[in-house]
Structure 1
């Protein structure tokens, strides 16, 4: 996999939650409460898709140095 493919990789909510280390319900709650703003695409009535690059950006923004 090259850099372009990995940055445009699409993840479902359960996959995105696993990548972030949280439960899928936690990720859904973050969005419904407005606590965390990670861009996503809603496909149909229930399916939600996240871009891996957006998740990486979020992780970098919350990373703390010691």
Structure 2
């Protein structure tokens, strides 16, 4: 018995649909990509995943990180001497 031959069109997977690049995130946050790189090196900032030389950020993880930064009464850092 022959199996029916189906010529379904190939639909590429969008594996990175939930991820954004460092440059994209920097633009959204209004900071530089260098700041995000510095935060990554210091293990600060939103969690990221590295694929080769690219740093990618999961959108939901960035939103969770932003929520975690929320403060009821933001503390101002003093400049100079007190």
TM score, norm. by length of structure 2: 0.59
Deviation at 1:41, TM superposition (A): 1.3
Give unpaired runs (5+ residues) of structure 1.
1-7
Higher helix share: 1
Structure 1 ranges of 4+ moved more than 4 A: none
Q: Which has the higher contact order (CA 8 A, sep 6+)?
A: 1
1:21 matched residue in structure 2: 30
Give unpaired runs (5+ residues) of structure 2.
1-16, 74-82
Cα deviation digits, residues 18-57 of structure 1 (max 9, x gap): 22221100000011122x142211111x111110111101
TM score, norm. by length of structure 1: 0.71
Q: CA RMSD in A?
A: 1.7
| Bigger Rg, structure 1 or 2 | 2
